[in-house]
């Protein structure tokens, strides 16, 4: 699938951008990272991996909610 290849490339770019030394960042840099992560999420969501992540996060949220009661 083409979306997996693009998703992998975007994931690598996001990791490289987020691993930069901690310095005050410009708004443009922060916006670029947010856009890349949003597109990465959209590309991963319809895949089997994305569905598995969604199910896992749903189970975690349900477990945390039941602990609070």
12-65 pLDDT tens trace = 887 887 777 767 667 777 778 788 887 777 777 777 877 887 788 888 888 888
Q: Does the structure show a pLDDT above 80 at 66?
A: yes
3-state secondary structure of 45: coil
H/E segment holding residue 7: helix 2-18
Q: Does the structure show a pLDDT above 60 at 68?
A: yes
Annotated domain spans of the chain? 2-68
- Residue 33, CA distances (Å) to 8, 13, 52 in order: 15, 9, 24
Residue 5 is encoded by which pair of tokens? 């290849």
């Amino acid at each position: 699938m083409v979306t997996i290849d693009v998703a992998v490339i975007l994931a690598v770019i996001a990791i490289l951008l987020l691993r930069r030394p901690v310095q005050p960042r410009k708004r443009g840099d922060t916006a670029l990272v947010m856009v890349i992560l949003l597109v990465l999420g959209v590309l991963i969501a319809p895949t089997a991996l994305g569905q598995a992540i969604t199910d896992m996060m749903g189970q975690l949220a349900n477990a945390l909610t039941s602990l609070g009661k």
